Amino acid sequence: MAGRRGALIVLEGADRAGKSTQARRLVERLRQRGHRADGMRFPERTTEIGKLISSYLEKKSNIEDHTVHLLFSANRWEQVPMMKEMLRSGVTLVVDRYAFSGVAFTSSKENFSMKWCKQPDEGLPKPDLILFLNLSPEAAAARGGFGNEIYETSDFQVKVQKRYQELMEDKSLNWKLVDASQTVDDVLKEITGMSEGIIEDVKDQPIGKLWT
């Protein structure tokens, strides 16, 4: 009989909502509680494709908009063999941003449809749970100013939030809205509970395919 698989858990949400903080803490907490868990992030800036993306985000190079969208997607696809192997071996993956960031950001640029933006990511491993860390722009601003990366302006971030709202209307995906204005510990407690529930629910299920 095949062993249990791990769950694919994605963190998405507003700028400075705490995705990276919670992704790290959730992996630690799940391990403490006896689960096998590992973290991943997108963009994964260490690969050759990731280095191109990083240079674009840091405004050190200019990459045409369609092209950079496809690079972000390729940066996910290049990790898929490893992701599937880990999930099948029973490791739960906690992923800091995924295809939803890809679609929300590119489709906020002029002349990009959601349909076009989703297509390159169709068929990626489907998340079992997407934790959307929800934070108002005012609360985000209280956590410090924007950095210097290309998308870090408030006008653009407002558009991105609208796109996330549209993506969350897709009921074929397991979105959970989390109040990210709580303390770090309270957010962690909430998402740990949700994550342990999903780990149990999907352990005998096949890995799904996103947007197919």
In the complex, which residues of this chain contact ligand Z5A (CB under 6 A)? 15-21, 42-43, 57, 72, 97, 101-102, 105, 143-144, 149, 151-152, 183-184, 187
Backbone angles phi, psi at 92, to 5 degrees: -80, 130
Selection from Mg ion, ligand Z5A, none that 128 binds (CB < 5 to 8 A by kind) is none
- Residue 161 lies near Mg ion (rule: CB under 5 A): no
Nearer to ligand Z5A, 5 or 76 (CB): 76
**Contact between 35 and 9 (Cβ < 8 Å):** no
Selection from Mg ion, ligand Z5A, none that 18 binds (CB < 5 to 8 A by kind) is ligand Z5A
Q: Which range, of 18-26, 55-63, 79-87, 99-107, touches Mg ion by CB under 5 A?
A: 18-26
Nearer to ligand Z5A, 86 or 117 (CB): 117
3-state secondary structure 23-83: HHHHHHHHHHCCCCEEEEECCCCCCHHHHHHHHHHCCCCCCCHHHHHHHHHHHHHCCHHHH
Nearer to ligand Z5A, 153 or 205 (CB): 153
4, 20, 36, 77: which one binds Mg ion (CB under 5 A): 20
What are the C-alpha distances in Å from 173 to residues 9, 146, 154?
12, 30, 28
Q: How far apart are CA 109 and CA 69, in angstroms?
A: 11
In the bound complex, what is the minimum distance in angstroms from residue 144's beta carbon to ligand Z5A?
Answer: 6
Taking each continuous run of H as one helix and of E as one strand, the counts in the chain are 9, 5
**Contact between 35 and 26 (Cβ < 8 Å):** no
- Residue 21 lies near Mg ion (rule: CB under 5 A): no
Q: Which position's Cβ is nearest Mg ion?
A: 20
Nearer to Mg ion, 20 or 55 (CB): 20
- Taking each helix axis as running N to C, give the angle between helix 48-57 and helix 65-77, from 0 to 180 degrees, rounded to the nearest 10: 140
Residues that bind Mg ion (CB under 5 A): 19-20
